[in-house]
Structure 1
Amino acid sequence: MDLKIIGTGRSMPVRAVANEELTRFLETDDAWIASRTGIRERRILTEESLTDLAAQAAMKALEDAQIDAGTLDLIICPTMQGDLITPSQACMVQSRIGAGCPAFDINCACTGFIYGLDIAAAYLETGRAETILIVCAEAMSRIVDWTDRGSCIVFADGAGAVVVTKGQGLKTTHLTACGDDALLRARPDGGNCPLTPEIKPIERLVMNGPEVYKFAVSAAVRDLQTVIEKDGASLDDVDWFLLHQANRRILEAVRNRLNQPEAKFPSNIARYGNTSAASLPILLDELNKADQIKEGQLLALSAFGAGLTTGACLIRWHETKGVIKSRTEGNSSDVLIS
């Protein structure tokens, strides 16, 4: 597949919310949350807009790639809901960063980044674009039910971005979808049309935790094995397994089923929680900026989410142009196995 990543970036809300703070309005405690999710704190939008985060992540990715926004041919924004219903979040980012290319959103929930890579590869391979920005931006704090301790403790806000161009980086992808709203769903306000006999009220995120766990573990194992076998590689050939940061128990279960060492499974869920589509590019940027991913290493990515959607891909890493210049961004000790 004709795609390689040449720049990465991320942006997180200023407001960090530790587990202890949730005990003010939820019947829970730090030990209960950490033991079930692996999360110690998460970032929540309070001062910024989602457009602020997405644009900041995009600009950092462009800086890392050492290109100008004006050279972009396309912007893809995986998100469950932008700041507005319309214009799209991608259009708002396009305006903010000074780009002039087409831009659109996709909603594949937590699998959005991998779907975005697959779409970008199609544009590059057909010659319809040469340089593409994928910026995943999520404001999950606006979607969850803050009275439901089973879901609101897990989700968080953030944005991660990559710049991609033609090159031999993305080796294989595998995407699935199975329409099912029983495990995960959210419904918007039904509006106020006087012709509608029964207007359904807003329904904030509903999640069947035990069933989501079983779905996520089986899907991640299946999809990772699929892309690795498709490439003719083996599990042991993979240097890094980057999994959607949904829940520590899910990550550990997948690792155990694949029989791979913990050192291959970097995680930042303890600090950021589940940022939906943004979790993979955020983690990728942390590893890149800490110079932990080396030239030529093999990365296996996996994600799963509402839809139900799943996806996995295999990437041969090419060091981004600005990694040395950007390496001072953040403390590298914050990354890795948390």
Structure 2
Amino acid sequence: MQTLGSFMIYTRIVGSGSFLPTTVVSNNSLAKDLLSRGIHTSDDWIVQRTGIKQRYLAKDDINTSYMAVESAKMALTDSGINASDIDLIIVATSTPDCIFPSTACIVQSKLNANRAAAFDLQAACSGFVYALSTAESFICSKKAKNVLIIGSEKFSRILDWNDRSTCVLFGDGAGAFVLTASYDCGILSSCISSDGSISDILSVSGHFEKGEIKGSPFVKMDGQSVFKNAVKVLEESARAVCNKACVDISNVNWFIPHQANIRIIKMLGRRLNVSDDKFIITVDKHANTSAASIPLAFNVARLDGRIKNGDLVLIQGVGGGFTWGSSLVRI
């Protein structure tokens, strides 16, 4: 939000879309597959620790850009804005199709969004909130009017399927927002933050060097440290954006945190004194889809009628980096 003359320019969500692969893998199915390789887990073990009951996994021929394009098409149709009128495309992803060109440039080409600048943004599971904040800056500074932001992840590519502590947690998918300049409602306040000193608690260390992969190509996580830090920074960030917008947390209609673990979400609710029924929960169905989790959850709640025009929605991300951020939005 920014004041220009006597008018306030807001960044408004005018369209949303999502894409999930067709392959649904239940906990029981995953447990059987892992057991065949000597790794023991169960539906009860996964649900009790994470709240996850199933996840969607993309087949080999479905890549990050494909899922991004499909979610973007849905969001553009929902918004009524043509791809040719998009000024900027930001794709938040930790699993790009390749090192370069950016996934965003591939998306731009496939959408025929010929006027749009395009770039990827890498902030792990906080990526979509970072993209939202970045888009807001472009719109409020009048450097762009219509912006397409997408969170798209094929995390199944970077999972060690012999590591029970991580492989049960993640899924694949994509979600998108179309944003535009507005004078009546939109993003009221936002903040993004990071702490690189604890980057080792959630990371993928692998990188190319002279044609070889150095480090691990798989997700590594210190679950207890992630839990402790995630709850702390999400609470602080929620209070900060509400205070900045002069909004009492009790007046927020819906909370959409990053869908990583139901225990993190429930603990956050207790810290904020917010009832469970105000949280949009999709982690049980989607698992952790990293940068895609927030737009996927938003679109579910918008399509089923929970999120309505005029609602106050608090969107929050937290993830590797260590990164986090929040946006308070009037729909």
Normalised by the length of structure 2, the TM-score is 0.92
Query: 3-state DSSP class of the match of 2:200?
Result: coil
- Alpha-carbon distance between aligned partners in 2 of 1:151 and 1:29, rounded to the nearest angstrom: 14
TM-superposition CA deviations, 1:16-69 (whole Å, max 9, x none)? 111112222231011000110000100111152222211000000000001211
Q: In the TM superposition, what is the alpha-carbon distance from 1:193 to its structure 2 partner?
A: 5.7
SS of the residue corresponding to residue 95 of structure 2 reads coil
Match of 1:183 in 2: 201
Give 1:29-108 correspondences, 5 Å limit: 29-46=42-59, 47-100=61-114, 101-108=116-123
SS in 2 for 1:232: coil
Q: After TM superposition, give the deviation of residue 181 of structure 1 in Å.
A: 2.5
Report deviation, 1:291: 2.1
> Aligned residues, how many?
313
Unaligned runs of 5+ in 2: 2-9
Which of 101, 104, 114 pairs up with 2:129?
114
> How big is the alpha-carbon RMSD for the aligned residues of Structure 1 and Structure 2?
1.3
Q: Does the 8 A contact of 2:202 with 2:222 survive in 1?
A: yes
Q: Which residue of 2 aligns with 1:8?
A: 16
CA positional deviation for 1:189: 4.1
- The question of 1:247 aligning with 2:264 is answered no
In structure 2, the residue corresponding to 1:118 is in which secondary structure?
helix
Show the counterpart of 1:147: 162
Q: Which amino acid aligns with 2:46?
A: I
Is the Cα–Cα contact under 8 Å of residues 58 and 135 in structure 1 kept in the other structure? yes
Q: Residue 190 of structure 2 aligns with which residue?
A: 173
Quote the Cα distance in structure 2 between the aligned partners of 1:128 and 1:116: 15
Shift of 1:203: 3.6
Amino acid in structure 2 at the alignment position of 1:42:
R
Displacement of 1:110: 0.8
Aligned counterpart, 1:314: 328
Report the 3-state secondary structure (helix = DSSP H, G, I; strand = E; otherwise coil) of the residue aligned with 1:226: helix
1:251 deviation in Å? 0.6
Amino acid of the structure 2 residue aligned with 1:20 = N
2:22 is aligned with what amino acid?
A: V
Which amino acid is the alignment partner of residue 163 of structure 1? V
1:195-206 matched pairs, under 5 angstroms = 200-206=214-220
Q: Out of 40, 46, 51, which is 1:27 matched to?
A: 40
Contact 2:88–2:117 (8 Å) recurs in 1: yes
Can you list the C-alpha shifts for 1:177-225, whole angstroms capped at 9, x where unaligned?
111322011023433369xxxx734341110001100011111111001
Partner secondary structure for residue 182 of structure 1: helix
Counterpart-to-counterpart distance in 1, 2:79 and 2:239: 31
Q: Which amino acid aligns with 2:160?
A: D
Letter matched to residue 39 of structure 1: I
Q: Is the 8 A contact 2:64 2:95 kept in 1?
A: no
After superposition, what is the alpha-carbon deviation per residue over 1:252-275, rounded to whole angstroms, capped at 9, x for unaligned? 100111111111011011110000
* Alpha-carbon shift at residue 4 of structure 1 (Å): 0.3
Choose from 138, 141, 154 the match for 1:123.
138
Residue 294 of structure 1: CA displacement?
Answer: 1.7
Residue identity opposite 1:151 in structure 2: T
1:265 — aligned with what? 279
Tell me, in whole angstroms, the C-alpha distance in 2 between the residues paired with 1:201 and 1:295.
47
Moved more, 95-104 or 3-12: 95-104
- Supply the distance in 1 between the matched residues of 2:217 and 2:135 (Cα, whole angstroms): 32
- Matched position secondary structure for 2:173: strand
3-state SS, counterpart of residue 194 of structure 2: strand
Instruction: Indicate the SS of the match to 1:162.
Output: strand
Give deviations 1:274-332, integer Å, cap 9, x for gaps.
00011001111111122221221111111100000010110011xxxxxxxxxxxxxxx
Alpha-carbon distance between aligned partners in 2 of 1:301 and 1:129, rounded to the nearest angstrom: 22
CA distance in 2, matches of 1:151, 1:184: 10
Pair 1:256-2:270 in alignment? yes
1:148 Cα deviation (Å)?
A: 0.8
Q: What do residues 124-146 of structure 1 show as CA deviations (whole Å, max 9, x unaligned)?
A: 11211110000110111111211
In structure 2, C-alpha distance between the alignment counterparts of 1:9 and 1:95, rounded to whole Å: 19
Q: Distance in 2 between matches of 1:243 and 1:293?
A: 15
Q: How does 1:205-216 map to 2 (within 5 A)?
A: 205-216=219-230
